[in-house]
């Protein structure tokens, strides 16, 4: 079946001297699974699961070549020979499942956190990566040579460990790209100035690695086809540069990405979220492929970013514009992505919705990645089986609430063999997810809802809509376990000197009644308020966003927030930072300037929207616990999601699955 539906995806591919079973790879991506700067058991479990799931090639994340590039303890180094046996275990695990494992070698350059090693960051020049960052140390020629040698030594270590190939990272604004980029490199010596001089360090490093590992070992480069940075490298520049790199040494593959690690819009393109039209960056691969056509022994070309389904990959491969497709976030969501496509089980695929909350969002907090739609990600060694461990004692389970937490808990418990009934008081499942359907740039969240519905059907959960729960109805049901997922009660902020803001539900009940001039208070810092502001602006409303912290969506990962703020500016959403609302009389909104502690400007508004986090709806939970304790009833009561504490779908889905696993 796979050969019929996806003939290009399931063709084997030779990359240098390495045979790969299909055209799908997992590109290098940060997991934060490292322990004391070494690979961990968590890495092994994670990559083995994806190799077992059918992917052809895995590229291990950002392996630091030098101490000046460490940045944090979760980052992995390749220069300490203690890494070799750990990498060997991972390589053997991946290869035993039929996959191939490459290692990406890297020096991060100017954007590492020097506080970790108590050293300055290194770069081509003293240009900070963002306004808040310290100026990096411009590398001396001796330091350039030291780092060149370090790349070669680490490549040899990885091949000694049994990895199948090496990827030299020249993309995403890391050190080698910092030397390439005219926006960063302001040197006046042999390593700066002209395009040829800016190319010198990357070429010397590439040649050093090739000479160290020999002519037969598999070696490739990862490049940014466009920096999307003022004064930076463009696609035209890279179409000139990449053939020169390939001519400088035997290069077996070119992995085409884009962006620079810089405090601006460019970083949001690197892991383009659901707001970007699918395929936005795929033409960059086409341009690089065309630039390489005249090259003898043309290297394999790889394309990445926004490939969410195997059908997406097949479309790009069939065009002839790429030889291999990288699907990082799709595999974060579902390690069995390839096997499910091969076996005709695509309806069982756990979707990547491009939310960037569990993957990129965790990195901002130096935490290990997970996935909103698949809480098992990062816990492969703890939650051992993707299809769940069967329960030894079948129980009668009642789940109350059909939002993300309740639906996840219900199908998870049923998958383990329990008899599960789900009560939802509304006329459809989804809870707060249903609000998102009115916001086109966030509508992919509905894929989570559809996935959960399919799971509920698959595991024969008895779902009852329009069914309210109270103490008597729960007691009459006689459950062994009750999982409470009743969500939170919405609250609109009351202002100190009068007036109250609308909740999301109140505002969306009749958008036409809001009028044309809308003031919104972002007291949450999540996607919710900024997404609503964008939606209303798209409807032609004049939106003013009041932000107490100064920056809207401050809890959202930079991999999404820079693009969001860019769109808000394009849509003429007015943003007033470090202010709060003092009062609203139905016409005039009086602000408070929080930085000065005095009255701020007065605004005219037809409506004010000011949602708060809400209150956890734990009333029935408290009643049930009191009854159980008083009657000594043998009922296990658990809670998941917002009825414990109002947060996001990331926490709701995780807690729902955890509750279902614990029954």
- CB atoms closer than 10 angstroms to residue 115: 10
- CA 284/CA 425 separation, integer angstroms: 49
How would you label 628-643 residue by residue, b for 16+ Cβ within 10 Å and e otherwise? beeeeeebebbbbbbb
Range with lowest mean pLDDT among 116-130, 159-173, 216-230, 404-418: 116-130
- Say whether both 76 and 177 belong to one domain: yes
SS3 125: coil
User: Which of 79-93, 156-170, 178-192, 553-567 shows the lowest mean pLDDT across its residues?
Assistant: 553-567
Which residue would you say has higher pLDDT here, 476 or 558? 476
Q: What is the pLDDT of residues 328-379, one digit of tens each?
A: 999 999 999 999 999 999 999 999 999 999 999 999 889 999 999 999 999 9
Q: Same domain for 594 and 636?
A: no
Domain end among 317, 347, 363: 363
Q: Are 627 and 602 part of one and the same domain?
A: no
Check pLDDT > 60 for residue 266. Answer: yes
For residue 339, being part of any structural domain is answered with yes
The reply to whether 594 and 634 lie within a common domain is: no
Same domain, 537 and 604: yes
118 in a structural domain: yes
The reported pLDDT for the residue numbered 72 is: 87
Write the pLDDT tens digit of every residue in 588-605. Answer: 999 999 999 999 999 999
- Angle, alpha carbons 40-43-44 (nearest 5°): 95
Q: Is residue 380 part of a domain?
A: no
DSSP of 391-453:
PSS--EEEEE--SHHHHHHHHHHHHTT-EEEEEESSSSS-TTHHHHTT-GGGGGGHHHHHHHH
Does 175 map to a domain?
yes
Print the domain residue range for 549. Answer: 504-609
SS (H, E, C) 530-570: HHHHHHHHHCCCEEEEEECCCCCCCCCCHHHHHHHHHHHHH
Question: Which range among 72-76, 121-125, 318-322 shows the weakest confidence by mean pLDDT?
Answer: 72-76
Q: 127 and 110 in contact (C-beta within 8 Å)? A: yes
| Same domain (yes/no): 318, 436 | no
**What pLDDT shows up at residue 132?**
86
CA 447 to CA 515: how far, in whole Å?
A: 32
- Structural domain contains residue 374: no
Write down the pLDDT at residue 437: 79
If one compares 40 and 441, the residue with the highest pLDDT of the two is: 40
How far apart are alpha carbons 220 and 198 in whole angstroms?
20
pLDDT (average), residues 602-619: 96
Model confidence band, residue 386 (pLDDT cutoffs 50, 70, 90) = low
622 and 515 both lie in a single domain: no
CATH number for the domain harbouring residue 643:
3.40.50.720
pLDDT at 385: 66
Q: Number of structural domains, the chain? A: 3
> Residue 2 — very low, low, confident or very high, per pLDDT cuts 50/70/90?
low
Q: What is the pLDDT at residue 29?
A: 98
Same domain, 116 and 241: yes
Q: How far is CA 43 from CA 33, 58, 90, 104, 474, in A?
A: 6, 12, 7, 15, 43
Predicted confidence at residue 3, as pLDDT, reads 58
Share of the chain above pLDDT 70, in %: 99
Domain's final residue, options 609, 631, 651:
609
Q: What is the CATH number of the domain that holds 341?
A: 3.20.20.70
- Give the CATH number for residue 595: 3.50.50.60
Partners of 619 in the β-ladder: none
Claim to verify: residue 483 and residue 430 sit in the same structural domain: yes
| pLDDT reported for residue 458 | 97
Asked if 592 and 547 count as a contact pair (C-beta separation under 8 A), the reply is no
Quote the pTM value. 0.96
272 located within any domain: yes
pLDDT at position 637, please?
Answer: 98
The answer to whether residue 514 scores a pLDDT higher than 70 is: yes
Domain co-membership, 401 together with 535? no
- Cα→Cα distances 176→148, 169, 170, 225, 330, Å: 10, 7, 5, 14, 28
Average pLDDT of the segment spanning 470-494: 97
The mean pLDDT of the chain is 96
Residue 63 lies in a domain: yes
Q: What is the per-residue pLDDT for 369?
A: 98
Same domain assignment for residues 327 and 431:
no
Domain end, chosen from 338, 363, 388, is at 363
The two counts, helices (H) then strands (E), for the chain are 23, 27
My answer on whether 482 and 621 are in the same domain is yes
Answer yes or no: is 457 within a domain. Answer: yes
Strands (E), 78-227: 100-106, 122-123, 137-138, 165-170, 218-224
Query: Would the pLDDT of 87 be above 90?
Result: yes
Banded pLDDT at 387 (limits 50, 70, 90)? low
């Amino acid at each position: 079946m796979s050969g019929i539906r996806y003939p290009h995806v399931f063709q084997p591919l030779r990359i240098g001297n390495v045979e790969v079973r299909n055209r799908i790879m997992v590109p290098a991506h940060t997991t934060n699974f490292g322990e004391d700067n070494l690979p961990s058991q968590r890495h092994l479990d994670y990559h083995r699961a994806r190799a077992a799931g059918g992917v052809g090639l895995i590229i291990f994340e950002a392996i630091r070549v030098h101490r000046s590039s460490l940045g944090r303890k979760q980052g992995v180094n390749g220069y300490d020979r203690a890494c070799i046996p750990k990498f060997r275990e991972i390589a053997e695990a991946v290869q035993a499942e039929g996959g191939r494992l490459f290692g990406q070698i890297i020096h991060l350059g100017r954007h590492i956190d020097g506080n970790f090693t108590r050293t300055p960051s290194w770069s081509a020049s003293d240009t900070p990566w963002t306004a808040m960052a310290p100026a990096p140390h411009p590398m001396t020629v001796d330091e350039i040579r030291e780092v060149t040698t370090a790349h070669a030594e680490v490549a040899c270590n990885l091949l000694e460990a049994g990895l199948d190939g090496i990827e030299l990272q020249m993309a995403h604004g890391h050190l080698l790209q910092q030397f390439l980029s005219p926006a960063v490199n302001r040197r006046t010596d042999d390593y700066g100035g002209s395009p040829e001089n800016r190319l010198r360090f990357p070429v010397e490093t590439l040649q050093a690695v090739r000479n160290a590992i020999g002519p037969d070992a598999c070696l490739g480069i990862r490049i940014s086809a466009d920096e999307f940075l003022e004064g930076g490298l463009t696609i035209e520049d890279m179409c000139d540069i990449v053939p020169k790199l390939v001519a400088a040494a035997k290069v077996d593959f070119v992995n085409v990405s884009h962006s620079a690690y810089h405090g601006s819009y460019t970083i949001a393109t690197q892991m383009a979220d659901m707001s970007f039209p699918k395929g936005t960056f795929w033409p960059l691969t086409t341009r690089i492929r065309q630039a390489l056509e005249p090259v003898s022994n043309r290297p394999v070309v790889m394309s990445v970013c926004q490939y969410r389904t195997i059908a997406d990959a097949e479309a790009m491969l069939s065009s002839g514009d790429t030889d291999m497709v990288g699907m990082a976030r799709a595999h974060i969501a579902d390690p069995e992505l390839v096997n499910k496509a091969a076996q005709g089980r695509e309806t069982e695929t756990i979707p990547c919705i491009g939310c960037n909350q569990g993957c990129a969002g965790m990195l901002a907090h130096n935490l290990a990645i997970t996935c909103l739609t698949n809480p098992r990600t990062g816990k492969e060694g703890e939650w051992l089986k993707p299809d769940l461990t069967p329960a030894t004692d079948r129980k009668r389970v009642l789940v109350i609430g059909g939002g993300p937490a309740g639906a996840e808990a219900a199908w998870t418990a049923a998958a383990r063999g329990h008899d599960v009934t789900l009560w939802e008081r509304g006329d459809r499942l989804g809870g707060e997810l249903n609000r998102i359907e009115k916001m086109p740039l966030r509508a992919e969240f509905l894929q989570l809802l559809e996935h959960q519905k399919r799971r509920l059907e698959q595991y024969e959960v008895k779902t009852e809509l329009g069914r309210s729960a109270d103490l008597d109805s729960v007691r009459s049901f006689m459950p062994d376990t009750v999982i409470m997922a009743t969500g939170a009660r919405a609250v609109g902020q009351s202002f100190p000197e009068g007036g109250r803001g609308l909740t999301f539900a109140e505002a969306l009940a009749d958008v036409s009644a809001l009028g044309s001039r809308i003031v919104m208070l972002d007291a949450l810092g999540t996607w919710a308020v900024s997404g609503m502001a964008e939606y209303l602006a798209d409807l032609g409303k004049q939106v003013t966003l009041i932000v107490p912290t100064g920056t809207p969506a401050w809890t959202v990962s930079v991999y999404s927030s820079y693009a969001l703020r860019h769109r808000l500016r394009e849509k003429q959403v007015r943003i007033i930072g470090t202010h709060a609302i003092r009062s609203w009389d139905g016409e005039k909104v009086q602000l408070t300037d929080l930085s000065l502690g005095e009255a701020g400007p007065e605004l005219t508004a037809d409506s004010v929207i000011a949602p708060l986090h809400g209150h956890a709806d734990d009333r029935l939970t408290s009643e049930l616990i009191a009854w159980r304790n008083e009657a000594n009833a043998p009922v296990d009561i658990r809670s998941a999601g917002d009825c414990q504490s109002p947060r996001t779908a990331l926490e709701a889905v995780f807690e729902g699955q955890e509750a279902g696993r614990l029954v």
